[in-house]
Amino acid sequence: MSDQIHRFIFDGSDVRGVHIQIQQSYREMLENHHYPPAVAALLGEFLVAAALLSVTIKFRGSLILQVRGDGQVPLIMAEANSNGDIRGIARDAGQAIGEDFHSLLGNGQLAITIDPEKGQRYQGIVSLDGANLGACIEAYFRQSEQLATRLWLSADGETAAGILLQELPEQQSDAAVWQHLTTLADTVQQEELLTLSADRLLYRLYHQETVRVFEPKSLKFVCSCSQQRMESALVSLGREELESILSEQGKIDSHCEFCHRQFHFDAGDIANLFGDPAPNTRH
């Protein structure tokens, strides 16, 4: 069954793993956009990577992966939270013709943001020096967290999937065991990631190991946009700017970039945002 997170551990080692395969939520995320195939695939990898990493945080909140670069896709981001909600977007990417990670994103930085429901937001940054998204994330954990981490990601516009292996925090796994487990994972083929279930894939890779797989958790595409958030965004523009738009267009129309939900505001709505009473209507 797709659209699930499967956590697993290897008995006798200090290595944990996560497997994710998504279809329905991935397709729902793409259906309101017209991304070129390579962009849709890259966004799928971002979505899976965010969901994989979100499993490793121990508190309730969100994890966000974002790249701003000088390539054909100026911004790409994916978000996953502890409820299993995922969403993502590639901005101004409709005309992108690149086929690989660097031609699409160019030079830039990958930001990994942890946003807990309680407590302060934390952000780590790593340059896009790796050959792909997985390599960049691995470099971040190696440089900033000193935590051995490997990812295998794949997406094709219909299905997105990935595996994460990571040393347990505050543990020092046996180097030979880590090398053995990651070498086996390196044999995985893109098609296997996209087509095999978690049980079948883990058996294919680790049938000679003792693997304990925990109860799966569902993933779903959910957008966190709301009327209140859109109103807050408008207020941040300032009243003068909003009234200028009203004078030119008579109303303010906006939409959520993630799910394309439409929001409409007239002069009375804008007045209410700034604490003015709505204008009286004559009968």
Query: Which of 221, 236, 252 lies at the terminal end of a domain, its last residue?
Result: 221
2-60 per-position pLDDT tens digit: 799 999 999 989 999 999 999 999 999 998 888 999 999 999 999 999 999 999 888 78
**What's 232's domain CATH number?**
3.90.1280.10
**Is residue 80 a part of any domain in this protein?**
yes
Same domain, 203 and 247: no
Same domain, 208 and 242: no
**Is residue 95 a part of any domain in this protein?**
yes
Same domain, 118 and 249: no
Q: Which residues of 106-134 are buried (b: 16+ CB within 10 A; e: fewer)?
A: bebebbbbbbbeeeeeeeeebebebebbb
Q: What is the pLDDT of residue 265?
A: 77
**Is residue 283 a part of any domain in this protein?**
no
Domain residues for the domain of 269 are: 227-273
Same domain, 179 and 262: no
Same domain, 233 and 147: no
**What's 116's domain CATH number?**
3.55.30.10
Same domain, 72 and 57: yes
Tell me which of 147 and 45 has the higher pLDDT: 45
Out of 28-37, 189-198, 235-244, 272-281, pick the least confident: 272-281
Dist CA 144 CA 182 (whole Å):
21
Same domain, 259 and 170: no
Reading the block at residue 151, the tokens are 């990812």
Query: What mean pLDDT is predicted for residues 246-263?
Result: 73
Helix H or strand E encompassing 270: helix 267-273
DSSP H stretches of helix in the chain: 24-30, 37-54, 101-105, 133-140, 175-185, 190-195, 198-206, 227-237, 239-249, 267-273
Query: What mean pLDDT is predicted for residues 169-188?
Result: 88
Out of 58-67, 182-191, 205-214, pick the least confident: 58-67
**Which residue do the tokens 């780590």 mark?**
124
Reading the block at residue 248, the tokens are 């030119």
Cα–Cα distances (Å) from 126 to 73, 81, 113, in that order, read 18, 21, 12
Return the amino acid letter for 46.
F
Tell me if 8 sits within 8 A of 202, measured CB to CB.
yes
Cβ atoms within 10 Å, residue 9? 16
Question: How many domains in the chain?
Answer: 2
Dist CA 48 CA 98 (whole Å):
21
Same domain, 171 and 248: no
Same domain, 39 and 153: yes
Helix H or strand E encompassing 40: helix 37-54
**Which residue do the tokens 């990601």 mark?**
153
Same domain, 110 and 198: yes
What's the chain's Rg over C-alpha atoms? 22
**Is residue 280 a part of any domain in this protein?**
no
Q: What is the pLDDT of residue 237?
A: 79
Is residue 272 predicted with pLDDT exceeding 90? no
Same domain, 100 and 119: yes
Cα–Cα distances (Å) from 27 to 44, 123, 142, 148, 173, in that order, read 9, 29, 33, 32, 38
Q: What is the pTM of this model?
A: 0.83
Is residue 155 predicted with pLDDT exceeding 60? yes
**Is residue 281 a part of any domain in this protein?**
no
Same domain, 48 and 182: yes
Average pLDDT, the chain: 89
Q: What is the pLDDT of residue 243?
A: 80
